[in-house]
Amino acid sequence: MSEAFKRKVKGTVMEIDRHLPELTESFEPVASEARPGTRLMDRLPDQVIFDDCSSLLEQDALEAHERDLFTILRNVRLSDDTVYCSVDASLPDNTQHQAVSVAILYWEFEEFNRVCHVAGRVTAPDAELFAICSAIILATQQDNCEKIYIFTDSIASARRAVDPSLHSGQGHSLAVCRTLAAWLAEDSSCTITFIQVPSKLEWSIHKEAHDYAKDLISPAGLRPDTSIDSVWKAVTKRSQETWTRMFEDPSYKGRNFLHLERLDGDALKPTYINGGVWLSPVGDNLLVAVRLFRCILNHAPIGLYYK
């Protein structure tokens, strides 16, 4: 097809053809580190620890977790065989700028290294994964280091860091798996612990990494590093915007459609998130769903409605 004709043709295949060249990320679908039985978490699960506080929603629970964080920090500062790291990432509001990944490393009471990388056009989990990868590679290079603590606000990215399967940012995960496999195998007493720090706490050394990440602003350039999740996110956003625009046309949604509002008075707009706007409150109750559709679409159970 000619370029002019391609621009007129709609559909998933054409969407892939247009946006796949934006992707710069490479993958290893048959990486040796991903073979069942040889994966890091298959071989050394007891030496990789996750401290997940994602279930802490109440303020009292968060305050208790903050006290626990200070206790952990005090203990690692008193240990002469422990490197602890604070990692964070920053995504710019301006799409013409790139994401930033930061890692700050400490030994006892002193900071001994900090790095700030331009992560490219990526999502927040991708950038956080890059920061974790940088911290681990630097920490394992320190002599007499037997324990590593990573303070992060994304425990999901921490779990992805030790997952060598195909996913966005797989290159960082493979680097982490290779590094940790060699380091942990040297001594069974070596451990790495990932500790979740809710960003809303603005806690101690994690706040320092957060502020450091905000300081760097990097233009995107002509062809920045771009992850597959970033491409998916952009395509999804464009699809959502198109859907919202089409929904404003009465010939698309129907002239008798019942407009519902949010509690703040704004009109509800279509979305696919969490089951969508109208379907999610119904759950699995078919009888309620049928009645809801009749009200919103202004239809009775007659032949035209069935059609």
Do 34 and 171 meet the contact criterion of CB atoms below 8 Å apart?
no
Taking the CA atoms of residue 172, residue 178, residue 179 and residue 180 in that order, the dihedral angle to the nearest 10 degrees is 100
Query: Side chain identity at 224, as an amino acid letter?
Result: P
CA 27 – CA 288 distance, rounded (Å): 46
* Whether pLDDT at 160 is above 90: yes
pLDDT reported for residue 73: 96
* pLDDT tens digit sequence for 14-38: 877 777 788 889 999 999 999 999 9
pLDDT reported for residue 304: 67
pLDDT reported for residue 95: 75
If one compares 301 and 70, the residue with the highest pLDDT of the two is 70
Mean pLDDT of 102-118: 96
CB contact set of 118 (below 8 Å; sequence gap of 6+): 98, 99, 100, 216, 218
Sheet with 147-152, side-by-side order of all strands = 48-51, 191-196, 147-152, 82-90, 99-107, 110-120
If one compares 152 and 216, the residue with the highest pLDDT of the two is 152
pLDDT reported for residue 54: 62
pLDDT reported for residue 33: 94
- List the beta strands (DSSP E) in the chain: 48-51, 82-90, 99-107, 110-120, 147-152, 191-196
CA 292 – CA 306 distance, rounded (Å): 15
What is the SS3 assignment for 76? helix
Using DSSP bridges, classify how beta strands 82-90 and 191-196 pair: parallel, antiparallel or unpaired.
unpaired
% pLDDT > 70, the chain: 96
Per domain, the residue ranges of the chain are: 31-223, 248-306
pLDDT reported for residue 271: 87
Q: What secondary structure does DSSP assign to 125-159, as a single string?
A: HHHHHHHHHHHHHHHTTSTT--EEEEEES-HHHHH
At 37, list the tokens: 């039985």
pLDDT reported for residue 202: 92
Give the side-chain half-sphere CA count within 13 A for 211: 7
Computed over every residue of the chain, the mean pLDDT equals: 90
Mean pLDDT of 61-85: 93
At 109, list the tokens: 């009471």
Domain 31-223, CATH homologous superfamily name and number: Ribonuclease H-like superfamily/Ribonuclease H (3.30.420.10)
Give the C-alpha distances (Å, rounded to integers) separating 81 from 60, 75, 107, 109, 303: 33, 11, 8, 12, 76
Mean pLDDT of 138-166: 96
pLDDT reported for residue 219: 81
